[in-house]
Amino acid sequence: MDSEDDNIYNTDSGNESSGEEDDGLSIGLEPEPTTTKEKMEIEEFPFDVLSTEEIVQHMIDSIKDVNNVVEIPPTTTRILLNHFRWDKEKLYERYYDGDQERLFKEAHVVNPYKKASTKSHRKSVTGRPTALGMEDCEICLRDLPNAMMTGLACEHRFCTECWNHYLTTKIMEEGMGQTISCAAHGCDILVDDQTVMKLLTDPKVKLKYQHLITNSFVECNRLLRWCPQPECNNAVKVQYVDTQPVTCACGHTFCFSCGENWHDPVRCQLLRRWQKKCDDDSETSNWIAANTKECPRCNVTIEKDGGCNHMVCKNQNCKADFCWVCLGPWEPHGSSWYNCNRYDEEEAKAARDAQERSRAALQRYLFYCNRYLNHMQSLKFEHKLYAAVKEKMEEMQQHNMSWIEVQFLKKAVDVLCQCRQTLMYTYVFAYYLKKNNQSVIFEDNQRDLESATEKLSEYLERDITQENLLDIKQKVQDKYRYCESRRRVLLEHVHEGYEKDWWEYTD
């Protein structure tokens, strides 16, 4: 690919260096997302963090690598690579299997080895005679000079103005970049990058197109993933796909496999089930089942808002009288308005059992969900906690303590945040976990870690004075070391369970 081809994909990320120099006052209070052991584990899973410019260069290099083996136009190469999720080996395999025509057709590109037919004269689409050197645009139907017309390998030709309007609409309004097809109705041949950049006149539209191409490259490449942190334009590149934590240059640690915050000990599939459960109306349905009943005659949902068990259906076409407890007709109940005397009947027992099951399911979900949300909420205040600790550290340095001597507070906050994040996901894991001997051990580990984490949080919230400094420092250090140890024990136990198939899950 020559330099002109390279320039097609050049994008300006808009990130500029702040130009600020270290003033010597920084105390290094950025949160550390991982422990020392986890950093070693991350180093064993090789990955690179790429800026926007590096992403573009990586794409260009990938295209050039293929072009060194297969002599086809750069845009065709890019589209073919996208078709195979940027797996060069799969592309080579399909390319050399002998059925190249089918390959190009599947990717919606014209076979570059196929010679286009030459047409000495194009028939006017309006039916009028067309002067020599003139053509009718098939969109606006104007009779225009050949120089103002542009066509693709599919031989559909339109005027520059119509092309510009069509491409701008596709890019700016529909957000399309990778898959813009020919403007002709029913033609699925994709427009090449050189043609797009030549026909567009607005620099903003060109930049948008370049960003769409870059985004498509990352989204389709199985070895790349955007950092999910807001305002971050970096991507992470790995050598192979695995469920492992990766840390962006912005400091955010996430799961490469699913893109969510690193969620050890729960696996991606289980986390997706939990998120879907939280997002949909399943628990609303549980509440309705636990707190309402259906009229036994017309099935209208009724909520009991008083103490009387005598229910009258509000459906004007029904007006059924029935008992709230057993759902049977009210008439046989006589005067037992507050105590149903038919408790032992099979039908009544089935109705009560169904409601109790729904109520129990709701209570169980709320138990785990509330604890999950509690730790999530605590993590959202992480920046406030770091700011408060920073003030304490600065105050302690003013009382003749060195920078090194106050670092125990920052370390404690790091450990506290790591433990809260781990605990948050243990409740997702525990919600789906079936009871067995190992699950009891897991719950003991979870309870121990949670108790220690809350104690550490309590220590960090205490006022530190000159009189209690040494005592608080010792307690904080002992407690965060204990938290580190218990967190490691919990995670190692869960991972051992994965390896030995200890864990079984509810449906």
CA distances from 21 to 25, 232, 446 (A): 11, 22, 44
Please report how many Cα atoms fall inside a 13 Å half-sphere around the Cα of residue 385, on the Cβ side: 23
| CB neighbour list of residue 354: distance below 8 Å, 6 or more residues apart | 289
Other CB atoms closer than 10 Å to residue 105's CB: what's the count?
14
Rounded Cα distance, 12 and 81, in Å: 24
Output DSSP code: residue 288: H
Tell me which residue of 113, 145, 119, 116 sits closest to 132, measured CA to CA. 145
Rounded Cα distance, 336 and 281, in Å: 37
According to DSSP H, which parts of 381-406 are helical?
382-397
Given the residues 140, 250, 298, 308, select the one marked as catalytic.
308
Backbone angles phi, psi at 301, to 5 degrees: -75, 130
Tell me which residue of 493, 506, 375 sits closest to 430, measured CA to CA. 506
Cα angle value 83/86/87 (rounded, 5°): 100
| CB neighbour list of residue 316: distance below 8 Å, 6 or more residues apart | none
CA diameter of the chain: 102
Query: For this structure, is 162 an active site residue?
Result: no
Tell me which residue of 361, 362, 295 sits closest to 328, measured CA to CA. 295
Could you tell me if 457 and 390 are in contact, meaning their C-beta atoms sit under 8 angstroms apart?
no
Q: What DSSP letter does each residue of 409-426 carry, written as one string?
A: HHHHHHHHHHHHHHHHHH
Rounded Cα distance, 328 and 348, in Å: 8
Rounded to the nearest 10 degrees, how much is the dihedral formed by the CA atoms of 163, 165, 171, 175? Answer: -120
Other CB atoms closer than 10 Å to residue 303's CB: what's the count?
8
Token pair belonging to 180? 């813009």
Q: At what angle do helices 282-291 and 346-380 cross, to 10 degrees?
A: 140
Backbone angles phi, psi at 49, to 5 degrees: -100, 125
What is the set of active-site residues? 308
